[in-house]
Structure 1
Amino acid sequence: MFMRRIAAAFGLVLATLAPAGAGQVTVFAAASLGEVLRDVADRFEDETGHEVLVSFAGSSVLARQIQQGAPADVFISANRDWMRVLAEDGAIDPDSRIDLLTNSLVLIAPGPATPAPIDKTLDLPARLGDGVLAMALVDAVPAGIYGKAALTTLGLWDAVADRIAQTDNVRAALALVAAGEAPLGIVYATDAAAEPRVGVVGTFPADSHPRIVYPAAAVAGSDNPLNDEFLSFLTGPEARDIFTAAGFGMVDS
């Protein structure tokens, strides 16, 4: 009897401490959002008392999981194409869709890196030596798609096409370079800024690849009442400060 009373009292304390009406929102997000979205989620939790569960992976992997019915509430992609695929499948709520962030694409090396102009004169094979160029999957993952487009525009793709080490997401490509397993890699500028073991050789011209935009939307199969609140928070001043401090640009409506 005594132990039951203790348990009941403990439960009452927990109920008192829990925020009234606290809920939970599950977010599927591009791997390149890594630390910054965790910081934004932490701020949202502090402000609202709600819980944010975030699953990070390549945008292509997450989009396919959503197509297969994975229990996501919000999807944040690293490019518009995968969001468009889901929209065509009726898998997202089109009225909730926003273009959220921008980024840039950089060539990295184990740091400190020797800077070089990123243009048609860049001798990538010579810089690679006997090594490989680390990139996310060039036909599926946004960072890899952007990277292949940039190399093709600059006339550099054919010289290195058979020397690409493709990874499931951009953070895995970053890790290969950071560990010294690849002499060069192509990642987002924000990835390079988050990893002290790499240096930036140079930034790819913005006109060498499609504009890098991160769209966000609620998943159509989700009826979570927190979806709108979380998406609105992503565009608010607190989240904006966190995103821009990490090197992202904001897409202003």
Structure 2
Amino acid sequence: MTRFLACLLIVASFAAPVRAERVLVFAAASLAGPLDEVTELWEAETGHEVVISYAGSSALARQIEAGAPADIFLSANPGWMDDLAGKGLIETSSRRNIWTNRLALVSFRPGAGIGIDADMDLEGMLDGRRLAVALTDAVPAGLYAKAALTQLGLWLSVKDQLAEADNVRAALALVATGAVPYGIVYRTDAHAEPRAHLRGLFPKDSHPPIVYPGAATLDAQSEAHAFLGFLMTEAAQAVFDEAGFQRADPE
């Protein structure tokens, strides 16, 4: 009888379902869309749940610093990831560069391509109206925009005509609704919003490289590492390829 009960316990232990875990991802706003699609693939494959909080990378990093229970941080630039690493809030061994992007000029009205260089008359194009950008002192898309405009010698002529938004998708919405005639966002944002028209790409050397690193936080759930690894798979990367992202060197 004792041996029989022991066998039943062994069988029961193998039959017990694996408890589904909930992974909380803090992700840069520009990842909305393809990240949602990839999340659905992973949830269907594993049975685990992923909850995504989208915002500007700066706001998300500050929330993690304040103790928010994120398992994964996906940033739109290395700077905010470096900040968390310096404070000992991410598992540095889990950190990977996952995607890259391009900085783009978009408009509410369609039109011909615009050569973006030092000779572009951006002030004249605005004609007294405002240029939508993400926060230029904190949000990655805004930091890249300021760097590019400064390098091209255009910053001083337009800095007082900016409509700054909390994140890049909010800046995109200002253009898409016609609240402003032009905006500086990522190429992938223009891909995601048919009401905003891509007019040109900023030269790559006009701003720091746009790289999206991802990492697990120090107190991450066990399945967070599995989800982070899934983002590097061919199935996941193909979704981001379709959305206009480019694959980064993971190191």
Q: Which residue among 12, 19, 22 is the counterpart of 1:21?
A: 19
Distance change in 2, residues 1:108/1:19 (3 Å): farther
Residue in 2 that maps onto 1:53: 51
Contact 2:107–2:197, Cα closer than 8 Å, also in 1: yes
Contact 2:128–2:161, Cα closer than 8 Å, also in 1: no
Q: Which residue among 111, 120, 123 is the counterpart of 1:122?
A: 120
Q: Per-residue deviation at 1:24?
A: 1.2
Residue in 1 that maps onto 2:228: 231
How many percent identity over aligned positions?
A: 54
Residue in 1 that maps onto 2:182: 184
Q: How does 1:173-212 map to 2 (within 5 A)?
A: 173-212=171-210
Gaps of 5+ in 1: 1-17
Distance change in 2, residues 1:19/1:201 (3 Å): farther
Query: What whole-Å deviation, never above 9, does each CA across 1:71-122 have from its counterpart, x for those lacking one?
Result: 1000000000000000001111101100010000000101413321000110
Contact 2:144–2:208, Cα closer than 8 Å, also in 1: yes
Q: Alignment partner of 1:32: what SS?
A: helix
TM-score by length of 2: 0.92
Q: How does 1:88-107 map to 2 (within 5 A)?
A: 88-107=86-105
Tell me how far apart the structure 1 counterparts of residues 111 and 216 of structure 2 sit (CA, whole Å).
40
Residue in 1 that maps onto 2:39: 41
Contact 1:103–1:249, Cα closer than 8 Å, also in 2: yes
Q: Per-residue deviation at 1:201?
A: 1.4
Contact 1:110–1:198, Cα closer than 8 Å, also in 2: yes
Tell me how far apart the structure 2 counterparts of residues 249 and 59 of structure 1 sit (CA, whole Å).
19
Residue in 1 that maps onto 2:150: 152
Tell me how far apart the structure 1 counterparts of residues 80 and 128 of structure 2 sit (CA, whole Å).
34
Q: Which residue among 60, 64, 80 is the counterpart of 1:82?
A: 80
Residue in 2 that maps onto 1:240: 237
Matched, 1:140 2:155: no
Runs (4 or more) in structure 1 with deviation over 3 Å come to none
Query: What whole-Å deviation, never above 9, does each CA across 1:127-149 have from its counterpart, x for those lacking one?
Result: 00121000000010000000000
In the alignment of these two chains, the number of paired residues is 235
Tell me how far apart the structure 2 counterparts of residues 203 and 230 of structure 1 sit (CA, whole Å).
32
RMSD, aligned α-carbons: 1.2
Q: Per-residue deviation at 1:19?
A: 6.3
Distance change in 2, residues 1:129/1:44 (3 Å): same
Residue in 1 that maps onto 2:215: 217
Tell me how far apart the structure 2 counterparts of residues 25 and 168 of structure 1 sit (CA, whole Å).
25
Q: Alignment partner of 2:73: what SS?
A: strand
Q: Per-residue deviation at 1:44?
A: 0.6
Q: Alignment partner of 2:153: what SS?
A: coil
Gaps of 5+ in 2: 1-15
Counterpart of 1:73 in structure 2: which amino acid?
Answer: D
